[in-house]
Amino acid sequence: MTTTKQSAFKRGLAAVLALTMVFSLGLSQAFSFQVNAASSRASGTPVRQLDVPVEDGVYYADIELMNATREAASMGNTALRGSSSYEAKQTGDTDYRPLIVVKDGKATAILEYMPMGYLMFYGFLLELNSVNTTLFNLSPVVESSTFTPATVLAEHRTTTGEVVFDQFNDPDSAYAIDGSKPAAHTRPAGYGHDEILMDVTNQAYPHIVTADATPIMIGDGDVPGSAEEYTWDHAAYVSVFVPVMFSISTSTGEQYARLQVDWTSLEKVENPENNVQYQLYLATQIEKGNYTDASYQALQDVIAETEETLSNVWPSQNIEVSTGMPPVPVLSLKQFTDEENAAMAAKLIEAINALEEKGDKSSLDALIAEAEAKEETAYTPNSWNAFQEKLTAAKEVQNNQDAGVTQVTAAVNELTAAMEGLIARADLSSLNQLLDEVGELQESAYTEESWRALQTAITEAKEAAADPNVSQNTIDTLRTALENAVNSLIPSGVLDKNNLEDGVYSVYGEMIKTNRQEKSMSNDAINHAIKLTVEDGKYYLTMDFHGLAYLNKFGYLAELSYYDNGYTYGQYGTVEGTLIPATVLSTQKNADGSDVYDEFNQAGGSYEGKLYPDQIKFPLVADALADEDGYVPLHVFVPVMEDISAGTGDQDVLLKLDWSTLTKTTEDDPAFEPEEPVEQSPAVDYTDAATGVKVNADKGVFDEGVQIVVSEITKGAD
């Protein structure tokens, strides 16, 4: 178009605009009057915000941008997606509904502004401000009002990120609002700002914005009692700046309007976590606060990415329009699928959940101070190096001004674990002293096998002592092992009980109660020189029994059994296992060679009809041979005990072998010879003829020097 043609076109446009002013811009004059009147005096009717008539939540709603002075749709309502005016023009886009976010009784609208036809052009909304006023005088009193710019969640840009143009931001347009022309493009003071030189060229128009939609009450009228009673009178005030209006008249570019929500139309959003507009709004409301720089910046990056994705939707900078007056923009912008919206929303939620506050370092500071007081010489090198590594890492976190709770907590936990893992250097003094003492021993004085065991213990102890990382527990264990090796040294010529050649041996033994504290009553019934025979490498014990005096009674040990391999000891020393009777080699005889019979193995006795064993033989099982204390578990029956107290004659007993007495001998060793039969004092039944005194005494074996033990005396005549 040539300059002449452009001038003719502009003159034609001016004529149309002038005609339009007559019919449709009387409102602008009214606004001008209201602003001037409001600015002339700061007085009027009080205004307050009302609680939203629904509970907190996220809703779809019917929202209209209404005229500020009368209950009619604003010209800009045609640009508000989802409004009645918009859907009347864009008949193919009627499913969209704006969002209302209700929290703590306040409401925020999330709106989409689209291009709209006006006269022979299409144009956009440039600014939307929420107006929170406390005083009303024909319009909100500026001095008592707060103007809050809408949060822009997305702009109108092309898929490659370029600004979408209309006639007013296109720098090549004859109608561009260009700051280089101050006379024509100066924005008057008002609406909370001073006079401004407008330059819209190459400026992107907002697409998705937020605005305060909390209803208001002007004056002292009745507060609405239900959603139906919230009308245009209670709609929130906003201010808008529309470039096409500004191009007509600089005084009409900025105007008040009312954002009216039909509170009866609200429908709760079922899955707000999938709504990208709502999640983006939430993300933009989060302030830096005490969040770490890294986590907050990560959120800002996702916000910027989402805003860019939602903005870059138009195929070209110039929008296609339909024919007619005014033209209707063709909505060729990208529409996101539910899956795409949910994916963007999920990424925002993930970034929000990843926000981390800076950690409180008071515990870390105290722990580091405690750690720095440690002395390196007190601990093993390995544990000290590991500790130093964690201490260095903890200091890095301490010096990191952006360290989050997770980092600080991890540093505290890891340094604490490293401190607890410090191993004190072992005290080697007692081990070294023992090594010195052992070093004075002469190899020739001990058997080869026991000396070799000692040398192994010495080597292990010396190797541990040379290791700077050895623990005290290891040193104590090795010292005990060395002591045991010393105690286990067998002098040259001393027999090794575990490796005896076939033959006859003698070992001292005693019968001990299962409590391992007291001697058993049966201890007095055995010959303590126990015969040990080794036959084809197998061990056997032969025991010799003799008579037993107990509480003025005399008797014999009647039966003996041994426990087979696999026996165990109970909690109180009781023996559990399989009993096998010992082999009886000979029985008890009187001096004349006859079998011994007494009150216990005669008719009516507890051992009736049986002969008392004199010598018995049984295998020394492997478990008993391996017993470090020399205990061999046995089971005996002693009739004399049973006679005194029923149930006490049958009992377990431990034969304790003193292996230090082990000597090699022969079958005819006098120590194995059975004792001579014991002579018993006769029973007494005597009556003194002169006095009539009767004396009764039991038969038995008594202490030396005692002639008769009287059991009963009956006094006769005086």
Copy the structure tokens of residue 526: 């055995």
Q: Which residues share a beta bridge with 60? A: 99, 267
Residues 411 and 441 in one domain: no
Tell me whether residue 229 is in a domain.
yes
Is pLDDT above 60 for 601? yes
Together in a domain, 475 and 374: no
Q: Is the pLDDT of residue 118 over 70?
A: yes
- Indicate if 467 and 611 belong to the same structural domain: no
Would 569 be classed as within a structural domain? Answer: yes
In this prediction, residue 4 has a pLDDT band, given cuts at 50, 70 and 90, of very low
Confidence of residue 633 (pLDDT cuts 50, 70, 90): very high
Q: How far is CA 38 from CA 141, 414, 522, in A?
A: 5, 66, 123
**Residue 686 pLDDT grade (very low, low, confident, very high; cuts 50, 70, 90):** low
Whether residue 531 is found in the same domain as residue 401: no
Over residues 449-461, the mean pLDDT reads 93
303 assigned to some structural domain: no
Does one domain contain both 519 and 387? no
Q: Tell me, what CATH number does 378's domain have?
A: 1.20.5
Q: Is the confidence at residue 26, as pLDDT, over 50?
A: no
pLDDT of residue 698: 53
Q: What is the pLDDT of residues 261-291, one digit of tens each?
A: 999 999 999 999 999 999 999 999 999 999 9
Same domain, 710 and 600: no
Burial of 573 (0-12, 13-18, 19+ CB in 10 A): middle
- Range in 7-11, 101-105, 317-321, 657-661 the model is least confident about: 7-11
Average of per-residue pLDDT across 130-137: 96
Query: Do 134 and 231 reside in the same domain of the chain?
Result: yes
Asked whether residue 195 is domain-assigned, the answer is yes
Q: Using one digit for the tens of pLDDT, what is the confidence trace for 365-403?
A: 999 999 999 999 999 999 999 999 999 999 999 999 999
Position 330 in a domain: no
Owning domain of residue 404: 362-420
Contact (CB, 8 A) for 615 and 545: yes
Same domain, 550 and 413: no
Three-state SS string over 228-294 comes to HHCCHHHCEEEEEECHHHHHHCCCCCEEEEEEEEEEEEEEECCCHHHCHHHHHHHHHCCCCCCECHH
Verify that 480 and 509 share a domain, yes or no.
no
- State the pLDDT confidence band at 21, using cuts at 50, 70 and 90: very low
What average pLDDT does the chain have?
A: 88
Task: Look at residues 395, 420, 445 and tell me which one is the last residue of a structural domain.
Answer: 420
- For residue 454, give the CATH number of its domain: 1.20.1270
Q: Is residue 69 part of a domain?
A: yes
Last residue of a domain, one of 437, 466, 487: 487
Domain tally for the chain? 5
Q: What is the pLDDT of residues 27-38, one digit of tens each?
A: 333 333 334 333
pLDDT, mean of residues 687-707 = 58
Q: Are residues 61 and 106 in the same domain?
A: yes
State yes or no: pLDDT of 134 exceeds 90: yes
User: How far, in Å, CA of 575 to CA of 636, rounded?
Assistant: 13
| Reported confidence tier of residue 258, pLDDT bands at 50, 70, 90 | very high
Q: Tell me: pLDDT of 702 over 90.
A: no
Residue 586 near residue 621 (C-beta atoms within 8 A): no
Reported as a pLDDT band with limits 50, 70 and 90, residue 94 is very high
* pLDDT reported for residue 155: 98
How many degrees, rounded to 5, is the angle at CA 598 between CA 596 and CA 601?
90
DSSP state of 491: B
Domain-ending residue, one of 403, 420, 437: 420
**Residue by residue, what is the 3-state secondary structure of 356-384?**
CEECCCHHHHHHHHHHHCCCHHHECHHHH
Q: Are strands 553-555 and 57-67 parallel, antiparallel or unpaired?
A: unpaired
180/223 same-domain check = yes
For residue 10, pLDDT beyond 60: no
CA atoms of 443 and 458, how far apart (whole Å) = 13
573 versus 195: the higher-pLDDT residue is 195
% of residues, the chain, pLDDT over 90: 71
Together in a domain, 702 and 643? no
Residue 48, SS3 per DSSP? strand
CATH of the domain at 254: 2.60.40.1850
Digit-coded pLDDT (tens) for 498-510: 989 999 999 999 9
Instruction: Establish if 328 belongs to a structural domain.
Output: no
Residue 29 located in a structural domain = yes
